[in-house]
């Protein structure tokens, strides 16, 4: 009996704190954040004479904000929202964090990156992408998530 208790405690100690599937989801979020950060903070082609954005028109570059932040918001919700219940408060926090992250990158571009400018229009495009991402997550939920039956209000 004493030996069983030791094994059980040892097994509990070595178990990861997050399930493997949820850890994979958060690693996708981290990868998306890294790609967005690098893509946003690289100097512009106008300064370096042939940067990564030299082949993309400015209007297309602006429109790319929407799918980028759509993907970020959908990944964050998929990773951070429990499949047992969906709390409106936690969804709101994730939305606010995604929008603030986009605003932070825009402000860093404005102050520190040669050839890059942060703009309110880009912040609004980021926020639009987040709203579309959250909406798409609710309209097309991942398998195993029943949105209508799971929404709880957090008071």
pLDDT of residue 60: 87
- C-alpha closest to that of 65 among 125, 116, 134, 137: 125
b/e map 62-81, b = 16+ CB within 10 Å: eeebbebbbbbbbbbbbbbb
- Rounded mean pLDDT, 136-145: 77
The whole model's pTM is what? 0.75
Break the chain into its structural domains and give their ranges: 20-152
Provide the phi-psi class of 44: left if phi over 0, else alpha when psi is between -120 and 50, else beta.
Answer: beta
What are 13-55's pLDDT values in tens digits? 444 555 788 889 899 999 999 999 998 888 776 655 556 666 7
pLDDT of residue 128: 97
What are 92-110's pLDDT values in tens digits? 899 999 999 999 999 988 8
More confident residue, 122 or 113: 122
């Amino acid at each position: 009996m004493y030996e069983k208790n030791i094994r059980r405690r040892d097994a509990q100690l070595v178990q990861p704190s997050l399930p493997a599937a949820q850890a994979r989801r958060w690693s996708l979020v981290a990868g998306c954040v890294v790609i967005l950060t690098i893509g946003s903070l690289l100097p512009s082609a106008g300064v370096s004479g042939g940067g990564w954005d030299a082949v993309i028109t400015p209007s297309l570059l602006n429109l790319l904000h929407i799918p980028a932040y759509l993907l970020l918001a959908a990944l964050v919700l998929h990773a951070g929202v429990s499949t047992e219940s969906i709390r409106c408060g936690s969804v709101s926090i994730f939305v606010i964090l995604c929008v603030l992250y986009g605003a932070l990158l825009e402000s860093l571009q404005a102050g520190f990156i040669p050839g890059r400018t942060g703009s309110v229009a880009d912040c609004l495009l980021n926020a639009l992408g987040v709203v579309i991402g959250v909406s798409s997550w609710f309209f097309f939920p991942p398998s195993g998530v029943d949105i209508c039956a799971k929404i709880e209000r957090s008071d």
